[in-house]
Amino acid sequence: MKSKIEILDEKLPNFFYKYVWADNVIKILESKRLWFSSPQDFNDPFDCNVNLIDFTPNNENIEKFINEKVSKNRSVRRQEINKNKRDPYRIKNQMAKQTQDLFYKSGICCFSEVNDNILLWAHYADNHKGICLKFSSDLADIGTMTAKVNYKTGYETANFWTEEGGAIYHLVFTKSDDWSYEKEIRVFRMISKGAIDFDVSNLTQIIFGCKADQSTIEKIKKIVLENNYKHIKFGQARQTKSSFKLFIDNK
């Protein structure tokens, strides 16, 4: 289904939360780096899939594209235009491949708006034995684009030729509403992935899972102390006794 894609003018929350295994927290603290994954490695095959963008050009798009890309004389350009009008899939496939290759070289770091979701603790924080990191929204400065994920019940495509900026936004920040419980926020880096330096002052709290063992807690607290990260506070996720909910005990 084609639709006009609107870039959401939304205010980001003051804090982002990242669920991680304890061993990865140690790496983050010691290296002062966050991992930006290539979309190629995501567990959802629909996530950042170029099929979310319609690259099919009309005749006007073809003429503009050839006139901009082909620097030869007018006769050669006209031949190229006519050839591509007869077979518009040549340009469509070319642009789709270029976009796919570009995104495989780019990186995304995923966060959540919430710190107490039991599924996120189970899926991304070692079955509640891991940690949830709390970051200030200033962390967004290390990205090319930062926004909340837009969850959709129906499959929509954006037109590359008429809404290029909106199409890229749609590709990065659109997911099926099956994932809506994650309340995800994404920091996206264009043509940059892997371990990326971040300002440790943006890490404001370390929240231990309700099943985190004491040795892990002591080890991480020691690293924070040794690095003189006095601004970092600690918390502990705890089970309530009367509901399927967690609460954060801010120590």
Residues 163-177 have pLDDT tens digits of 867 899 999 999 999
Share of the chain above pLDDT 70, in %: 95
Q: Calculate mean pLDDT across residues 193-218.
A: 97
Listed residue (195, 189, 228, 208) closest to 103, CA to CA: 189
Q: What does the alpha-carbon distance between residue 40 and residue 19 come to, in Å, rounded to a whole number?
A: 21
Which run of H or E residues covers position 188? strand 184-189
pLDDT at 1: 42
Q: How far apart are the C-alpha atoms of 103 and 190, rounded to whole Å?
A: 7
Is the pLDDT confidence value at 3 over 50?
Answer: no
Q: Is the pLDDT of residue 251 over 80?
A: no
User: Is residue 37 pLDDT above 60, yes or no?
Assistant: yes
pTM above 0.85, yes or no: yes
Neighbours of 205 (CB within 10 A): 20
Query: What residue spans define the domains of the chain?
Result: 15-51+103-250
Span 148-160, average pLDDT:
92
Cα–Cα distance, 219 to 225 (Å, whole number): 10
pLDDT per position as a tens digit, 40-78 = 999 999 999 999 999 998 988 888 888 877 766 778 878
pLDDT tens for 212-243 read 999 999 999 999 999 999 999 999 999 999 99
pLDDT in tens, 4-30: 445 555 689 999 999 999 999 999 999
Contact predicate 171/53, CB 8 Å: yes
Residues 6+ positions from 187 with CB-CB distance below 8 Å: 36, 108, 109, 111, 139, 140, 142, 143, 145, 146
| Angle formed by the axes of helices 59-69 and 74-86, nearest 10° | 140
pLDDT for the residue 97: 92
